[in-house]
Amino acid sequence: MPSRPLLAVLCVSAILTGAVLRGESGDAAAPPAGSGVVFSVFENLPPNGACPGLYAVDARTRAISWLGGWDAERRDSAVYPAFTAAGTFSYAHFVDPSASPPAAEVFAGARSVARAYAFSGWAWSPRREELAFGQLSGDGKRLALGLASVTGTKRVLAPSTIGGVSWLPDGSGLVYVRRGGGDDVISFVRRDGRGRRDLARNAGAPLVSPDGKRVAFLRKVSSTSIAFSVWIVGTNGGTVRRVLSPTAREALRLGAWLSNRELLVQRGLDNDVIFNAGDTVTRIDVDTRKQRPFLTRAFALSLSPDRSRVLFVRPHRGGETYYSIRTVRTDGRDERLLAVTDEEDLNIGSRPVWKPATTRVGWIGDRAPPGTSQEDCVRRVTSLRDRTP
């Protein structure tokens, strides 16, 4: 596995390429039957460890199950849970942890789809069984933006990328980050590799709106600053517009689009790097710039498939920092504590994801690591979840 110093350096790049009611409200609508969250455990959870691998938790019953993910030959566990457009479960194994950046083999079910570069970002198309990912360029000197299909076909979409992939909701194209003229640039490209156009310079962490018409992104406050402002640009290009600037010593990050005009933005201290302290989450109307508080000590990850709930994590101390996995309705009610995950999972970008209600996840990999059992794996994670406030 990558060393902690390496992870600390790479994770800063990864994030750029990237008071709620406690308890359950009786009148709030419950999550759909069969829906849930899939998450990874990369290292050990405090206080006495937990089996590395992949887990699922039911959003209604909170029952946790171990999905496997352990690979005895690699002596390594799977990370980066995701789902394809057809609902096939996707995950990845590190190939060469000593490389910089390390490569990861991405699977859809039992099929190996691509060898992507970890921390550069990859994403499944919302409409097709296709994966956009960073691959080594032909000259071996940079990363290119590739597209791989579960059928085995591969092609290059753009000659360079540094990650930050965000698909249009209809899967017709995507927005990504590349280096251009010594600057970070967000660009659009169609899924056939045509129609490439730059949208904004000095820009990163693009996030396409639900209707596919706008892109939220981060831009440095100045050439010498490490602080970022939040901006908006159309996916067709045009004028860029700033919607939020940081206060003194504040760091801003993008969370998720709640609607076509409302954005969740992370706000924390400038030393609050990659999930190691407590952010607040604010709702921002990108048209009027009006703000409303939404979550405290939390990090928003994504919206549920029906767009009714927000998936987020919250930090806790327990020997080392670990994180509770929670959901809450978009109106701030009905917060649910589902499971827990290790801080290293979030550091490497292996984040919890929604499991579609109609999808069943089969067994992945080999038996539980030596000295453990499937039942023990579940018991340890469940026990820590149940002790978490």
3-state secondary structure of 376: helix
In this predicted model, what pLDDT tens digit does every residue of 170-223 receive, in sequence order? 999 999 999 887 789 999 999 999 999 999 999 999 999 999 999 999 999 887
Give 325-330 contacts, CB < 8 A, sequence gap 24+.
Answer: 325/37, 325/39, 325/57, 325/352, 326/298, 327/31, 327/37, 327/59, 328/20, 328/295, 329/28, 329/29, 330/258, 330/303
> What's the whole-number mean pLDDT along residues 310-331?
90
SS3 360: coil
Q: Is residue 125 part of a domain?
A: no
In this structure, is residue 288 part of a structural domain? no
Instruction: Give the separation between CA 314 and CA 331, rounded to whole angstroms.
Output: 18
Using one digit for the tens of pLDDT, what is the confidence trace for 65-80?
Answer: 989 888 878 778 899 9
Tell me, yes or no, whether 6 lies in a domain: yes
Burial of 161 (0-12, 13-18, 19+ CB in 10 A): buried
Pick the more confident residue, 283 or 163: 283
Mean pLDDT (the chain) is 85
Mean pLDDT of 1-6: 39
Distance CA 242, CA 220 (A): 11
Answer whether residue 97 is part of any domain. no
Question: Which pLDDT band, with edges at 50, 70 and 90, does 256 fall under?
Answer: very high
Residue 236 within a domain: no
With contact defined as beta carbons under 8 Å apart, do 208 and 123 qualify?
A: no
Q: State the pLDDT at residue 44.
A: 74
Q: How many domains are contained in the chain?
A: 1
- pLDDT, one tens digit per residue, over 325-367 is 999 999 999 999 999 999 889 888 899 999 988 888 877 777 7
Is residue 384 one of the residues assigned to a domain? yes
Quickly list DSSP for 300-328: EEEE-TTSSEEEEEEEEEESEEEEEEEEE
With 90 as the cut, is the pLDDT of residue 19 above it?
no
> Does the pLDDT at position 251 exceed 90?
no
153: alpha, beta or left, given left = phi > 0 and alpha = psi -120 to 50? beta
Q: Comparing 156 with 43, which gets the higher pLDDT?
A: 156
Please tell me whether residue 263 adopts helix, strand or coil conformation. strand
pLDDT (average), residues 78-98 = 90
In a domain, 296, yes or no: no
Residue 265 phi/psi, 5-degree rounding, is: -125, 130
Tokens of 20: 């709620």
Q: Is 346 contained in some domain?
A: yes
- 20 pLDDT higher than 60: no
Q: Which helix (DSSP H) or strand (DSSP E) does residue 378 occupy? A: helix 374-387
CB 55 within 8 A of CB 66: yes
Q: Look at the block and give the residue holding tokens 């596995």.
A: 1
pLDDT of residue 168: 98
Type and span of the H or E element at 7: helix 4-16
For residue 18, pLDDT over 70 is answered with no
Judged on CB neighbours under 10 Å (0-12, 13-18, 19+), 261 is middle
Domain range holding 374? Answer: 1-77+304-389
Give the whole-angstrom CA distance, residue 346 versus residue 275: 7
Mean pLDDT throughout 121-143?
Answer: 88
pLDDT of residue 224: 77
Bridge partners for 269 per DSSP: 250
